[in-house]
Chain A
């Protein structure tokens, strides 16, 4: 059974860098899937932030592109998100998810982790 589990600090100070990790179990992250991050501010809708395929292909939401980096660690079977210069507007539940192709739907989601940006 494939599972995704997000982890990271629940509280980040403004102007600092948010770092999250998604551990993948039951499936090799090197196999033929894309891996992505979607966030959801409290009480609001869903926003895709970034996706990655096999470490070499990355895709970013232009609204965040200057601040976001996605990467894969195949040795740990996990992928990560870094978002720099955070503000209160980056407060959200961050979900990691899997999709089969660049133009395919998200078929498996992690449970999400709430990150609050506050001093």
Chain B
């Protein structure tokens, strides 16, 4: 199985500041034939299902604010939230869909400082 490891486990950021969450894959999830990274980011608020934010490592889902961005390639990826808003408090997960079993990171809890 591909192991996804996120860092940090929790993060406290002031309103209006930048939040950065990292995700490392145990296997290269860049598919050379199409030059795509098979990585997604999800946001989960308490009592709600995960919500897709980013796919193909850097493509923002429709309706997701542009303060959310994804970057990285191969085995190292980053989710950046510029100018943190109160409604961004949530747990964030990365997920690889390069092959089955699909696997998720352990989650990063984002709070307001």
Contact = CB atoms under 8 A, between A and B. Distances in A.
Interface in A39-64: 45-48, 51, 59, 61-63
A99 B96 CA distance: 13
Interface residues on B, range: 20 to 34
A95 interface: yes
Contact of A103 (B51, B99, B106, B107): B99
Contacts of B50: 46, 95, 106, 109
Contacts, number: 56
Kindly name the residue among B48, B51, B52, B99 whose own CB sees the greatest number of chain A CB atoms within 10 A. B52
B51 A109 contact: yes
B106 A45 contact: yes
A105 B40 contact: yes
Contact of A112 (B49, B100, B102, B105): B49
Given A45-B106, A46-B93, A48-B102, A103 B40 contact: no
B61 interface: yes
B93 A105 contact: no
Contacts of B107: 45-46
Interface of A: 45-48, 51, 59, 61-63, 95, 97, 99, 102-112
26 contacts: A45-B93, A45-B104, A45-B105, A46-B50, A46-B95, A46-B107, A47-B104, A48-B100, A48-B101, A48-B102, A51-B100, A59-B100, A63-B101, A95-B50, A99-B97, A103-B31, A103-B98, A104-B55, A105-B52, A106-B95, A107-B52, A107-B55, A109-B49, A109-B51, A111-B48, A112-B49
